[in-house]
């Protein structure tokens, strides 16, 4: 690692430690009012982790039909927490239930701890296998995206770790990347560009393994949970989620750094914002395909996919931005060390690190410029 780049990473690690201390200190008061599974203001401890724990409990009790029935699912969560906690859905496709069941076996807080540690472990393993140095791995684990992911009980650390595993191929016969890609179909907004990358690289074996495993997971979920489960997910949960994203309002709007949600923040109607997003995303996709074909270095291709995914998908949250930071770390690695030439990548590396908070600040101010802050990284990759 170039000396100047190492200095920047050390600075980010120091910022990460300071950020963690600040974050814990700023949220510590919330712990004083915890009653059962809820903070004093009625929010569940661990944020969205309550969805996974409830889903696991419903699976183990044989109440599969309630998982993708939004009203029944929310009623189950009220029974678990003792109070209404707002609109919450199990949005992941039914083959996610194959993994969710074990998380209902144990108490809420013990399982939340295991979930949080597992996410960090997968992120670390993915980063190391991809080829990041320990210092870079530490930057990822202590980044705002990772910290927010733990706070919200979310899947972002898992997704970033699995994505890095999927990009870590050591040979055309390497089985781990397609296995990771198949698992990522549970959260497709993270790994949806992998088939494109592997088509360009002519990695037919990886495509076949990942596709076969995905079909196997889906078939197994059909056999265990039944066709009605898939129909409920497609017919009830997905439309409800789509209505929320296009027409709902709330703090979640400032947590999504996409073109789509940025347009919604400034008042564009949901359907039009969605169309405009895909028009812009189409142009980005054309550029991305050109760059993936033109560039032969696998690291640069990985950076293009990681950064491109955050720009193209309309549904990515601030706690998912470990993907972006990983891409930014790759971009900053390859550029020359001269002070003037390194100032720009260092700036955008810092922006990628801070974006999980910047997106909220800019959104609340009514100037959702996050996509414009990310775009230069795609051009530099």
Output b/e per residue, 121-154; b: 16+ Cβ within 10 A: ebbbbbbbbbbbeeebbbbbbbbbbbbbbbbbbb
- 310 touches 316 (CB < 8 A): yes
Mean pLDDT for the stretch of residues 134-142: 98
- Local structure of 199: helix, strand or coil: helix
| pLDDT in the model for residue 243 | 94
Sign of the alpha-carbon torsion through 18, 333, 309, 124: negative
| pLDDT in the model for residue 214 | 98
| CB hemisphere CA count around 201 (13 angstroms) | 23
Q: Is pLDDT at 281 greater than 60 in this prediction? A: yes
**Range in 135-149, 172-186, 263-277, 336-350 with the lowest mean pLDDT:** 336-350
Mean pLDDT for the stretch of residues 217-235: 97
d(CA 120, CA 97): 21
| pLDDT in the model for residue 344 | 72
Instruction: Give the H or E element holding residue 55.
Output: helix 49-60
1 confidence band (pLDDT: 50, 70, 90): low
Q: Is pLDDT at 377 greater than 80 in this prediction? A: yes
| pLDDT in the model for residue 202 | 94
Tokens 């949960």 -> residue: 237
Sign of the alpha-carbon torsion through 328, 330, 335, 340: positive
**Mean pLDDT, all residues of the chain:** 94
d(CA 316, CA 359): 11
What is the per-residue pLDDT across 68-77, written as a single tens digit (0 to 9) for each?
Answer: 999 999 999 9
d(CA 239, CA 244): 9
Mean pLDDT for the stretch of residues 213-235: 97
Q: At what angle do helices 108-130 and 49-60 cross, to 10 degrees?
A: 110
d(CA 177, CA 241): 30
Closest CA to 307 of 291, 5, 92: 291
**Range in 4-8, 34-38, 128-132 with the lowest mean pLDDT:** 4-8
Mean pLDDT for the stretch of residues 256-263: 97
User: 42: phi > 0 → left, psi -120 to 50 → alpha, else beta; which?
Assistant: left
> For residue 361, how many other CB atoms are within 10 A of its CB?
11
- DSSP assigned state of 234: I
Tell me the CA distances in angstroms from 159 to 155, 163, 194, 237, 354, one per residue in order. Answer: 6, 6, 13, 21, 19
What is the per-residue pLDDT across 291-341, written as a single tens digit (0 to 9) for each?
Answer: 999 999 999 999 999 999 999 999 999 999 999 999 999 998 876 554 444
């Amino acid at each position: 690692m170039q000396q100047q780049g190492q200095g920047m990473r050390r600075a980010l690690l120091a910022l990460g430690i300071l950020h963690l201390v600040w974050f814990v200190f700023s949220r510590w008061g919330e712990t004083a009012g915890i009653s059962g599974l809820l903070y004093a203001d009625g929010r569940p401890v661990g944020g969205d982790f309550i969805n996974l724990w409830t889903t696991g409990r419903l699976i183990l009790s044989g109440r599969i039909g309630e998982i993708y029935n939004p009203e029944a699912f929310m009623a189950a969560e009220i029974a678990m927490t003792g109070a209404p906690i707002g609109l919450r859905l199990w949005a992941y496709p039914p083959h996610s239930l194959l993994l969710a069941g074990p998380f209902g076996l144990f108490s809420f807080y013990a399982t939340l701890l295991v979930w949080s540690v597992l996410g960090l472990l997968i992120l670390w393993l993915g980063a190391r296998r991809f080829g990041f140095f320990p210092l870079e791995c530490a930057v990822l684990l202590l980044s705002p995206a990772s910290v927010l992911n733990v706070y919200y009980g979310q899947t972002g650390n898992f997704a970033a770790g699995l994505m890095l595993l999927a990009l870590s191929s050591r040979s055309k016969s390497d089985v781990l990347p397609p296995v990771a890609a198949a698992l990522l179909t549970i959260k497709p907004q993270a790994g949806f560009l992998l088939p494109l990358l592997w088509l360009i690289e002519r990695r037919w074996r990886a495509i076949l393994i990942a596709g076969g495993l995905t079909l196997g997971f889906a078939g197994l979920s059909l056999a265990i949970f039944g066709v009605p489960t898939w129909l409920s997910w497609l017919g009830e949960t997905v439309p409800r989620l789509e209505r929320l994203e296009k027409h709902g309002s709330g703090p979640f709007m400032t947590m999504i750094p996409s073109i789509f949600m940025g347009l919604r923040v400034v008042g564009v109607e949901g359907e039009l914002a969605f169309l405009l997003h895909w028009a812009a995303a189409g142009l980005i996709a054309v550029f991305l395909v050109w760059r993936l074909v033109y560039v032969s270095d696998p690291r640069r291709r990985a950076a293009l996919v990681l950064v491109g995914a955050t720009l193209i998908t309309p549904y990515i949250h601030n706690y998912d931005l470990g993907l972006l930071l990983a891409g930014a770390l790759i971009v900053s690695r390859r550029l020359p060390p001269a002070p003037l030439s390194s100032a720009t990548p260092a700036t955008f590396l810092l922006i990628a690190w801070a974006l999980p908070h910047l997106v909220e600040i800019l959104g609340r101010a009514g100037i959702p410029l996050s996509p414009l802050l990310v775009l230069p990284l795609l051009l530099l990759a």
